[in-house]
Amino acid sequence: MDHRVLIVLLWTSGFSPGLQTEEHDAFKVIDYIRLVGGSSRCSGDLEAKHQGVWTGVELEWNLKLADVVCRLLDCGSVVRTSLNLTEAFWFSSYCLRSESSLKKCLTERSFTSTYSATTVKIICSDSVRLVNGKSLCSGRLEVKSNQSNQSWSSVCEDDFDLQDAEVVCRELGCGAPSVLQGALYGDMEAPVWTKEFQCGGHESALLDCDSSDSDRNTSSPGKAAGLTCSELHNVRLVGESSRCAGELEMKQQGYWRPVDDRKSDWNLKTADEVCRKLDCGSAVSTGGRESDFDKRTWRISSTCLQSKSAVRECILTDSDTSSSNLEIKCSESVRLVNGKSLCSGRLEVKSNQSWSSVCEDDFDLQDAEVVCRVLGCGAPSVLQGALYGDVEAPVWTKEFQCGGHESALLDCDSSDSDRNTCSPGKAVGLTCSEPDDVRLLGGSSRCDGTLEMKQHGEWRPVIDLDSQWDQKSAAAVCNRLDCGSAVSTNISTSSSLKSVWWIQPSCVASYSMLRECLRLPSDTIGYDSLEVICSDILAQPNISFATFIDGVSEANQQGIQVLMGSSFTISCSILPQYPGGSFQLILTTSATSQNHTLPAVNHSAHFLFSAAEPAHRGEYRCVYHLYVFSYNFSSESQPLHLTVSASVTDLIIRLVVLLVLMVLMVGSNAAVYCYCKAPRGQKPRREDNMELDHLGGAGDLLGEEAGAQGTE
Ligand SMILES: *[C@@H]1O[C@H](CO)[C@@H](O)[C@H](O)[C@H]1NC(C)=O
Ligand SMILES: *[C@@H]1O[C@H](CO)[C@@H](O)[C@H](O)[C@H]1NC(C)=O
Ligand SMILES: *[C@@H]1O[C@H](CO)[C@@H](O)[C@H](O)[C@H]1NC(C)=O
Ligand SMILES: *[C@@H]1O[C@H](CO)[C@@H](O)[C@H](O)[C@H]1NC(C)=O
Ligand SMILES: *[C@@H]1O[C@H](CO)[C@@H](O)[C@H](O)[C@H]1NC(C)=O
């Protein structure tokens, strides 16, 4: 049987194609992998030697890994790849990490099964490469001599101009040169190229260009030619009237194809990278769109795109035809930059292909409403100058006058503000609230239950995509819902089939914006739901005051005033969420803090004070404590301020006032009647009576009078 090696590359964000060569090891890469069938040893089908036999190699392919092969073979950098369908073997991306891991893969029999797969053809640049750059299209230029020595030489800036750079960028499969600068990507390393390039600009390879002897043996420091070619992003949105919305297509190996959304770990964050690459603002929404089955698609690595690499480096491989392809809607002419999520940042507006900052004086809350809506976010929550960095030129010269209901900022009326500059600290910084798209369902409060999210208008349960859901992911949910911290989270199996959304916990952990980490699209499956319990599951308790002498105490701005010596009750209550629990009444005076606890009966507790005295003056708070889900929860009420009117004169004045009132209203007023029927010291109602027993039994922490005095 034809032994073929299939290398399956599992793209991991931590992977970098840097090679660690081990010099003491006699292992020679070229004895184990090769490119065959091309015009030189630097192009052709990738083969590896397995058990003494040269075999085809398949990779779940992307350009960066092909580049590793080129560099391993000392063949410059990758220019392009193509794929054929054949039978092949299997090994992992680990194999290409270093020469020693390659050796390990090829000598140990770790890859065995053959099946139909796509082998890869690689074309390397052979005699030109850029090293030390941030992508395949940038770095310090090195040229490999034709002579027997075959070593790489640095090129001196003086021997290399923009026309030469054009040839290099084209030869490497990149866009036009954008920066050419000495020592941009590190300085000269010996040996130095001894000729001056004289390209016309249209040659297909640098070594095809004319050159003249420069007799250079050394080059002054800071002169190593550093070159940045522009990236050919090869990405577009099609099918809508605007170039900033529609079905995503990418070009690789000369073909524009849609992107298979089922096989790409796609999310809003990645869509946002595409919008920014297309200079189309930020991503508003993304999802799958039903498609014809007859088109072949690309499959891309979302993780790769998020690390801001060039799009062409992130296409993994072509996949079969797909029933659903990705589409994206970008904000087009408005964006928030420098923010923590897609819903916050410094406002910029685009006109005539360039982005302008907006000055705070030209922008108000109604304008902000339009921006937040256009970006797919919730209502504006903070609008403040320089919150996300200061004005950058140019400055928008009109004052926005939105009504608030326009569907695009540039549809709003505006008047000339004749502004050319904007004072420092005035750049519009806007925080829109996150859209209302997360909830916990089925618990006894909004802060516990099964996680559901809304996308494209539909609420669905959320399930864990990469089995990494943990407390940290749950914390992002609690934080998002303003529910405090995460107490616990749990994955519970549900037997029913449902349409779900997938979420990537790894994305949530590093980025914590749930909406931007939903993987698209969704599926209908039996699912394991994510249950989250946050710390703030309890409602806020109420605190209230009652005295047996109605009308004597009074509430004012300073709080409640109670007559010295009168009895009063402070009641704590809470919505009936869970049975049981206890209330703690905390009294803070200027000098000290005291507290007393009663069990909650019917979700409330009544603390009786049989005679008010100066020590009762202070701030009262109820704290409800509950042990549930193996955790102690608590929730605190608003404070209640109590003053005790101390003087006898005060009492006399009040009694006089009451008597006057009685005279005025005699025989007809219910309030007065009640007052007369409820004199001081009357036996409290039944429930008060019962709780007084508790109070007394637990010890007098609130003062000696707060005991069982009220009982008969
Ligand atoms: C070959 O290149 C190396 C540097 O990589 C240098 O030390 C050596 O002298 C060169 N040999 C010849 C024959 O040019
Ligand atoms: C708390 O007080 C408010 C206003 O007086 C009332 O509407 C609410 O029902 C009370 N809640 C509880 C749990 O007693
Ligand atoms: C409640 O009182 C106890 C005993 O006096 C004290 O140890 C505790 O710190 C108090 N708690 C609060 C919240 O004041
Ligand atoms: C609790 O409330 C219910 C109905 O509201 C009442 O029947 C019951 O007597 C109350 N229990 C106590 C101990 O007050
Ligand atoms: C909850 O509170 C009780 C009483 O304060 C304490 O005994 C218990 O250890 C606490 N449990 C946890 C899990 O913190």
Q: What is the pLDDT of residues 617-633, one digit of tens each?
A: 999 999 999 999 899 99
Both structure tokens of 650: 């005060």
Quick one: average pLDDT of 546-552?
Answer: 63
pLDDT tops 50 at residue 703: no
Sorted by sequence, the CB contacts under 8 Å of residue 600 that are 6+ apart come out as 574, 580, 581, 582, 583, 624
- Nearest CA owner, ligand 4 atom 10: 602
What is the Å distance from ligand 4's center to 539 Cα?
21
Neighbours of 132 (CB within 10 A): 13
Residue 91 is predicted with a pLDDT of 53
- Ligand 5, atom 6, lies closest to the CA of 632
Q: What is the largest CA-CA distance in the chain?
A: 123
Query: 586 CB less than 6 Å from ligand 3?
Result: yes
Which ligand does the CA of 599 lie closest to?
4
pLDDT in tens, 412-467: 999 888 777 788 888 999 999 988 889 999 988 999 999 999 887 889 888 887 78
Lining ligand 1 with CB less than 6 A are 149, 151, 191
Nearest protein Cα to ligand 4, atom 2: 602
Across 669-676, average pLDDT: 39
Can you list the alpha helix ranges (DSSP code H) found in 482-602? 505-511
147-161 confidence digits (pLDDT tens): 667 789 989 999 999
Q: Which residue's CA is minimally distant from atom 11 of ligand 1? A: 149
Q: How far is the CA of 211 from the centre of ligand 1 (A)?
A: 21
How many CB atoms within 10 Å of residue 31?
11
In sequence order, what are the beta bridge partners of 67? none
Inform me whether the pLDDT recorded for 596 exceeds 90: yes
Residues 6 or more apart whose Cβ sits within 8 Å of residue 227? 130, 138, 139, 140, 141, 165, 168, 169, 177, 179, 180, 184
90 confidence band (pLDDT: 50, 70, 90): low
* pLDDT grade for 4, boundaries at 50, 70 and 90: very low
User: From atom 10 of ligand 2, which residue's Cα is the shortest distance away?
Assistant: 542
Ligand 4 centroid, distance to 601 Cα (angstroms): 8
Ligand 1 atom closest to the Cα of residue 148 is 13
Average pLDDT, the chain: 79
Sorted by sequence, the CB contacts under 8 Å of residue 182 that are 6+ apart come out as 157, 222, 223, 224, 225, 226
- The DSSP 8-state label assigned to residue 427 in this structure reads B
Residues 681-687: contacts with CB under 8 Å, at least 24 apart: 681/548, 681/567, 682/548, 683/710, 683/712, 684/548, 684/569, 684/608, 684/710, 687/601, 687/606
Please give the distance, rounded to the nearest whole angstrom, from the Cα atom of residue 514 to the centre of ligand 4.
Answer: 43
pLDDT tens-digit series, residues 455-489: 878 898 888 877 889 999 999 999 999 999 999 99
Give me the pLDDT at residue 94, please. 66
pLDDT for 493 equals 82
Q: Which amino acid is at 247?
A: E
* Ligand 5 site, residue 627, Cβ cutoff 6 A: yes
- Lining residues, ligand 4, CB within 6 Å: 601-602, 687
Average pLDDT over residues 201-206: 90
CB atoms within 10 A of CB 633: 22
For 327, the token pair is 């589409």
Three-state secondary structure along 351-412? ECCEEEECEHHHCCHHHHHHHHHHCCCCCEEEEEECECECCCCCECCEEEECCCCCCCHHHC
Q: Is the pTM of this model over 0.75?
A: no
How high is the pLDDT of residue 524? Answer: 61
Confidence at residue 507, expressed as pLDDT on a 0 to 100 scale: 79
The CB of 256 under 6 Å from ligand 5? The reply is no
More confident residue, 707 or 405: 405
**Which atom of ligand 3 is least distant from the CA of 595?**
1
pLDDT band at 336 (very low <50, low <70, confident <90, very high): very high
Give the highest mean pLDDT range of 17-26, 62-71, 371-380.
371-380
Query: Counting atoms of ligand 4 from 1, which one is nearest the CA of 602?
Result: 1
**Tokens standing for residue 380:** 């504006």
Which residue minimizes the CA distance to atom 2 of ligand 2? 542
pLDDT of 679 strictly over 60: no
The predicted pLDDT at position 17 comes to: 36
Ligand nearest to the CA of 74: 1
Q: Compute the distance from residue 617 Cα to the ligand 1 centre, in Å.
A: 93
For residue 172, pLDDT beyond 80: yes
pLDDT higher at 650 or 704: 650
> Mean pLDDT across the stretch 552-569?
74
Q: Which of left, alpha, beta for 557 (phi over 0: left; psi -120 to 50: alpha)?
A: alpha
553: Cβ contacts below 8 Å, ≥ 6 apart = 545, 547, 560, 561, 562, 563, 566, 568
Q: Which atom belonging to ligand 5 lies closest to the Cα atom of 631?
A: 13
**Element at 625 (helix H, strand E):** strand 618-628
Q: Pick the ligand that lies closest to the CA of residue 154.
A: 1
Q: Which two tokens stand for residue 339?
A: 């923010």
Q: Which of 426, 417, 331, 333 is nearest to 383 (CA)?
A: 426
pLDDT computed for residue 463 by the predictor: 85
Distance CA 396, CA 360 (A): 11
What is the CB < 6 Å shell around ligand 2? 542, 573-575
Among 574, 575, 602, which residue has the most ligand 4 atoms within 8 Å of its CB, making it the best to mutate? 602
Determine the residue of 542, 571, 636, 637 to mutate for testing ligand 2's pocket, defined as the one with the most ligand atoms within 8 A of the Cβ atom.
542
Q: Is the pLDDT of residue 206 over 90?
A: yes
Q: How far apart are CA 119 and CA 60, in angstroms?
A: 9
- pLDDT of the residue at 12: 27
- Please state which of the ranges 48-57, 272-281, 387-396 shows the lowest mean pLDDT: 48-57
Q: How far is the CA of 644 from the centre of ligand 3 (A)?
A: 23
Of residues 31 and 628, more confidence is placed in: 628
Mean pLDDT of 55-64: 64
Pocket test of ligand 3: the residue of 585, 588, 595 to mutate, having most ligand atoms within 8 Å of its CB, is 595
Between the CA of 154 and the centroid of ligand 1 the distance, in Å, is 14
What pLDDT band is residue 557 in, cutting at 50, 70 and 90?
Answer: low
- For ligand 3, atom 2, the nearest C-alpha belongs to 595
Query: For residue 122, what pLDDT is reported?
Result: 80
Could you tell me the pLDDT band of residue 707, with boundaries at 50, 70 and 90? Answer: very low
For residue 349, the model assigns a pLDDT of: 93
- Describe the crossing of helices 648-665 and 670-677 by its angle, rounded to 10 degrees: 130
pLDDT score at 622 = 97
Per-residue pLDDT of 485-535, as tens digits, reads 999 999 888 777 778 888 888 778 777 688 888 876 556 666 788 999 999
